[in-house]
Structure 1
Amino acid sequence: MRILKYLFLLFLLLSTAFVVFVATQPGDYKIMRKKEINISKDVLYHFISDTTSLNDWSPWEKDEISLVNKNLSSTDSIAHTIILNEEKTSSLFHFQKTKKGTIVTWEVNGKLDLKLKILSVIKGGATNVVGSELEKGLANIDHYLVNEIANYTIKINGLVTKNTTNYIQQETTCAVADFQKTSKAMLQNMVSFVTKNDIKITGLPFVIYKTKKTSDNKTVFAMCVPVEEEILTTEGSEISGGHFDSFLAVKATLNGDYSHNEKAWKEARKYMNKSKLSENLIGKPIEIYKVSLPKERKPSKWVTEIYIPVQQKISAPKPESTEVAPSSESNLNTNPVQ
């Protein structure tokens, strides 16, 4: 019994000594890791600066961390304030263009809490503990951008009829490069609006382009949600009601990240030229987000449908026995552009 008592006292003494030793270890750290990623500098900058994408690459659990952009003055670097387990940490990403892609340098400066101090003593220093987390984060960014974003397909569905639709909309102008971030925030606002006002939604959210791309590289668009009945709002409201009648359009489908959107538009216009179809400039091009955030986080599984209004060709009427009226979204020509 006396031996057990001595062993317990010895264990208590050693434990106390260990805690004191850990507590007296240096608390400040500055650690840096690098990785070359085969993606352009601009894509990396926009991805990492978008705080809503944090869960797609962060090496920490989402309930442990929050991220605040501190400095976005250039596309060469991003300064963050990371709040990790209630401790503030300075984070700096730097981007250097290479022949293959971009060297991403991630540097963090912070203080070790007691938990990290214990891990540092066990694993041989803060460099091993925090450094491995930085390496994991860079590997996550590499995997997400190279494997997820690079995986896409474009299909030309052909000529279809788009149904008459009532909708509510919020209109804005932003830089083309900021479209994804801006449209995400607007969609959240629209969802909040319909929930608060108990409005029945009849389909998927979509964008109507007022001007796809201006001379100063901006886009003018309305984020829309289809509704059962036409909505009237008060003058000056940021959200208003809208409506379009059925129209003939060339439809293209992008399976993959939205960064390939311009390629899908080019393929659709190439199909129009090949088929000798003219765009109906009175109508407005539409994009429908059939599969997207927040329900699906993997970009390779996103589905975006593009509708470009075209002018209906006027031709001599066919005999009644052979005339076939196009049905809603029926494919009048489904041969994809090669």
Structure 2
Amino acid sequence: MKIFKYLFFLILIIVIGGAIYFGTQESKYDIKDSYTINAPIDLIFNKVNDFKDWEHWGPWKKEDSTIVFNYAEKNVGEGGSYSWTGKMDGSMTTTKVIENKEILQDLSLLTPGGERNPKVYWSFVEEEGATKVTWGMHGEHTLIDKVFYAFSGMDFEGDMHKMNMSGLKGIETIVLEDMKQFSVDVTGISDYGGGYYLYLTASAKKSDLRIKMGALFGEVMGFVQQHNLQTAGMPFTVYNQINEANGTVIFSTALPVKENIITPEGSNILCGYLEATSAVKTVLKGNYTHLDKAYNNAKKYIKEQYLIVDSSKNVFEIYANNPDLVSNPAEWMTEVYIPVFKDLRSNHSIISEQ
């Protein structure tokens, strides 16, 4: 009997000692990771703010192929929520949103040891055109949790860091893929009405064209604002001369105005007039880097339709939205116009008989 009594006291001492030991271990945790993504801040923010995007960038499906996501009627912004079933059921609700800055969320996890309710937080900081995004979670381990981690060998903090980085890189992948999307639509012959425009003319190598173009547009816009002038449409570029041999372009960056403007003597900015013209119109939705594709499709259409290019008129591009206001390059709209003879084709009898 004494042996059993000693064993009982020994076990009791071990249990009490273990409880004291694990009870004195740090319970609170705050685990976070940061990652810089070369993309506009609002694109990153939107991927986190909309729970329907989480299953596309999150690492959970890789770890649990049985997981099923369920979305509430509201799944975006404050009050938005979603839940899931799988090896471990759970749900999440967004409790606070500061656009492009911060998101706070309540997480509920049904673990074998009971329900756990940590807090999730996100922060977004713009860094020279890129975005530093931080994903973190804080909460408190129960005594059961601490015992389980100790004896199972599970590295809770290490696993959380791995999950965070996997998710952050998943956001990067999906956002960068979104930014690469583009489409080209040759709409056919369009009649452009023409009109007055303020412009600056310069030359540049093709490789430097977009950078120089942006600077010139800034000068023209500054002139318009300085003199309180009203524009009559979206900015455009006129290609005055293209030298394919040496890869140089003479071009004019322009802003349409309602009437002829007499610019001050000595000013580099002049007022011109674009004549009404018939042109093959091609719409690029996407980054300007895809403009070559737009031009190739337009030229292919011209050839297939036996159209004749009007070389007396210049090719021009209209920028239908402002990249400063539309951060996703996949949403940029450019209209390309190649002047043609509307009623004269290369297979016309007058031409073919020559």
| Band of TM-score, shorter chain | 0.5 to 0.7
Structure 1 unaligned residues grouped into runs of 5+: 1-32, 36-47, 68-81, 85-122, 316-338
Given the alignment of the two structures, is residue 305 of structure 1 paired with residue 335 of structure 2, yes or no?
yes
Q: Mind listing any 5+ residue stretches in structure 2 that lack a counterpart?
A: 1-34, 45-122, 133-156, 346-354
Q: Aligned letter for 1:270?
A: K
Aligned pairs, how many?
Answer: 209
Q: For residue 278 of structure 1, give the secondary structure of its aligned residue in structure 2.
A: strand
Shift of 1:238: 2.0
Instruction: Pick closer, same or farther for the CA change 1:254–1:236 going to 2, 3 Å.
Output: same
Residues 281 and 205 of structure 1: is their aligned pair in 2 closer, same or farther, counting only changes over 3 Å? Answer: same
SS state of the match for residue 225, structure 1? strand
Flag the 1:278–1:236 CA change in 2: closer, same or farther, 3 A. Answer: farther
- 2:288 aligned to which of 249, 258, 269: 258
Deviation of 1:278 after TM superposition, in Å, equals 1.2
2:225 to 178, 195, 200: 195
CA contact (8 A) 1:165 1:244 kept: yes
Shift of 1:312: 4.2
Counterparts of 2:292 and 2:222, CA distance in 1: 29
- Give the match for residue 274 of structure 1: 304
Match for residue 125 of structure 2? 61
C-alpha contact (below 8 Å) 2:40/2:328 kept by paired residues:
no
Q: 1:148 aligns with which of 179, 185, 190?
A: 179
Indicate if the aligned counterparts of 2:282 and 2:336 stay in contact, CA closer than 8 A.
yes
Superposed, 1:99-114 pairs within 5 Å as none
Alpha-carbon offset, residue 178 of structure 1: 2.5
Residue 180 of structure 1, CA deviation: 2.5
Q: Post-superposition shift, 1:223?
A: 0.8
TM-score computed with the length of structure 1 as normaliser = 0.52
Paired residues for 1:1-338 under 5 Å: 61-62=125-126, 65=127, 142-149=173-180, 151-313=181-343
Aligned sequence identity (%): 24
Provide Cα deviations, 1:239-295, integer angstroms capped at 9, x if missing partner: 111102211111111111111101110111111111111111110111011123111
Cα distance change on mapping 1:66 and 1:153 into 2, 3 Å:
closer
The structure that has the greater radius of gyration is 2
The 8 Å contact of residues 208 and 284 in structure 1, kept in 2 or not, is answered as: yes
Describe the shift of the 1:305–1:213 C-alpha distance in structure 2 as closer, same or farther (beyond 3 A): farther
Q: CA deviation at 1:152?
A: 1.0
The root-mean-square deviation of aligned C-alpha atoms, in Å, is 3.8
* TM superposition shift of 1:179: 2.5
Q: Displacement of 1:196 after TM fit? A: 0.8
Q: Shift of the alpha carbon at 1:200?
A: 1.0
Deviations 1:213-236 (A, max 9, x none): 532222221110000111222454
Q: Larger relative CO (CA 8 A, sep 6+): 1 or 2? A: 1
Amino acid at match of 1:61: V
For normalisation by structure 2, the TM-score amounts to 0.50
Q: What is the CA–CA distance in structure 1 between the aligned matches of 2:283 and 2:275, rounded to whole Å?
A: 22
The letter of the residue matching 1:156 is: V
- Alpha-carbon separation, structure 1, partners of 2:273 and 2:42: 36
Aligned partners of 1:248 and 1:312 also within 8 Å: yes
**Structure 1 Cα separation of the partners of residues 315 and 193 of structure 2:** 14
8 Å contact from structure 1 (residues 56, 144) kept in 2: no
Question: CA offsets, 1:198-221, max 9 Å, x none?
Answer: 111111111111124532222221
Mapped partners of 2:236, 2:259: distance in 1: 17
